[in-house]
Amino acid sequence: MILYKNTKAIFLATSLLVLSCTNKPKKVAQAAPEVTTETKQPNILLVLCDDLGYSDVGFNGSQDIRTPELDKLAGAGTMFTSAYVAHPFCGPSRAALLTGRYPHTIGSQFNLAANGKSTGQGISTNEQFIAKTLQESGYYTGAIGKWHLGATQEFHPNQRGFADFYGFLAGGHNYFPEQYRTQYEKQKKANKKVIRDYILPLEHNGKEVKETEYLTDAFSREASRFVKEASSKKKPFFLYLAYNAPHVPLEAKEEDLEKFADIKDKDRRTYAAMVYAVDRGVGAIVNTLKETNQLKNTLIIFLSDNGGNTDHGATNFPLHGRKGDTWEGGYRVPMFMYWPEHITKGEKNNYPINSLDLYPTLAHIGKAELPSNKILNGKNVWESILANEDPHAKETLFAMRHREGYTDVSARKNEWKALKVSRQPWKLFKITEDISEENDLSSTHPEILKGLVGDAEQWSKTHVEPLWFDPTYLQKIWKDSTMATFNNTFSLPK
């Protein structure tokens, strides 16, 4: 890979974080230390929503969207008010979650283009996914729902450490089979060479299946099926349940819509019903865990892949910004962890945690040995979570999103956050006191701003050229402009 030439009703919003290049990622060659509490390897259920707004769940302050099942788990576990993902939109965020790497360091800064099988691209097989690491440690592994990390055989979930996969490989999908199947059959009959990903049949371990249920319900059903199968095996399980809800298209069941008749805005009402369907499904999965006597030893982690899409029903209050931004609203997400008798009940953790931290943390909890050549940009934060301490004290965390001809970037260190958006001058916020990013303090603390911008520039020098572009015309802009050299992003007024 080629290095860049010259590198540049309640809560939060923006783009992405990880470890400062002043703390350069290190190769790890040792077995993970023992978990502090005496326990066997726990089951791990990682639930990921798609485009879920920061304040669109009850445990994070929603007033109009009811999520009783999620709220019960959050209330019996630890909630994270400063949880960040590594990128403010789908594909790169998911790549970071499963590889433990900033997407910019492995060439996945952009989404994979639609109709992935025709492009034949995907996340490098040199990057071992957390599923494979846990599988090698004795875990029974499964992935259900949205993939978006490569659609050809070498990038398929079954080749990346997931023994069982049920879902779709693209970046999105329609929700009602009786509707999308009709469209698919019509296009197939017309011998259309390229059929839109959103209407393709679902698959189970590479074989096409005829789904009949609303997709969110189908994925919840399959998760319960996986949990039941896992209960008969003499090994723990790792399940990556990646709902595509509440990502567009906004499609909900009538019975769910009826529960939100008081919401007058059509998009918001449909979006609320889609979130509620996720909540229903998680409740059903928890019941299955209870029925199979597995709940007590199951760690459940819930979060979103990025901020909410405010053009399609979501809210990120009190955060500024939306999906795709480096404002807080783009990559600060709702998150909790639940594990009976092992994680503090009813606690709020206000310190920054990053989705990049999940790979090394889950490897530690699962007593897995990390590959000798594995580079990680996050860190094991388990002890910090248990102690409710800052796992990233004195470290700078980053987010970056390339746009057409310019780059948005943020850098957070402790209470301070530097932000560059829309070709505007750099701003500085005391983010612990100003999560809505309203008061720019760059003029009163120029040295703090200079330090954070310098950290971001050094971090950018660890990036590699994108392996793909979406939309594809960005490749020409990248090569023909100064986009590849960050467009003077790191320049400050003298």
Active-site amino acid positions: 90, 148
* Residue position matching structure tokens 């889609």: 274
| CA dist., res. 16 & res. 400, Å (int) | 6
Distance CA 77, CA 73 (A): 6
**Residue 478, SS3 per DSSP:** helix
Q: How far is CA 313 from CA 57, 143, 252, 263, in A?
A: 13, 27, 13, 11
Under 8 Å between Cβ of 300 and 73? yes
CA-atom Rg of the chain in angstroms = 21
Residues in the chain: 494
d(CA 50, CA 241): 11
475: which DSSP letter? H
Pairing of strands 347-349, 164-168: unpaired
In Å, what is the CA distance from 188 to each residue of 182, 200, 210, 390? 10, 10, 15, 54
SS3 label, residue 208: strand
Structure tokens at 428: 């500085």
3-state secondary structure of 7: coil
**b/e map 359-392, b = 16+ CB within 10 Å:** bbbbbbbbbbebbeebbbbbbbbbebbbeeebbb
- The structure tokens listed for 323 are 């999906």
